[in-house]
Amino acid sequence: MKKTTEDFLIDLENRGFKFQEDAIGFIYFGKKYTDASDELVNSAIEITLKAQKQFDSSFYMSILERLHSQKITSRKEALKWMVHQGLS
């Protein structure tokens, strides 16, 4: 079963990633702005954390927009794209 963005963020926080309230707001802003699915948003968050080692709002938004414009819909496709872009 796919995780909602809320569940994904809770799991990350339980693993030690702390998000400021403004970062969480920005995550949901990006989701609404791009009309992205939870899976795509979660993938953009994951890529951001892997590439930046912390949450960077502008990097996240850039990744989310690029995944959306490339019509990537799954985590598997997103991670493959990440490797192809040299972000891992």
pLDDT digit string, tens, across residues 28-39: 999 999 999 999
Q: Report how far residue 19's alpha carbon sits from residue 71's, in angstroms, rounded to the nearest whole number.
A: 27
**Mean pLDDT value across residues 36-63:** 95
- The mean of the pLDDT values for the chain is 94
pLDDT at 2 over 90: no
Cβ–Cβ under 8 Å, residues 40 and 69: no
- In this structure, what token pair is assigned to residue 50? 């892997």
pLDDT of residue 44: 97
Burial class (CB in 10 A: 0-12, 13-18, 19+), 49: middle
- The pTM of the full predicted model, rounded to 2 decimals, is 0.93
Which tokens hold the place of 9?
């963020």
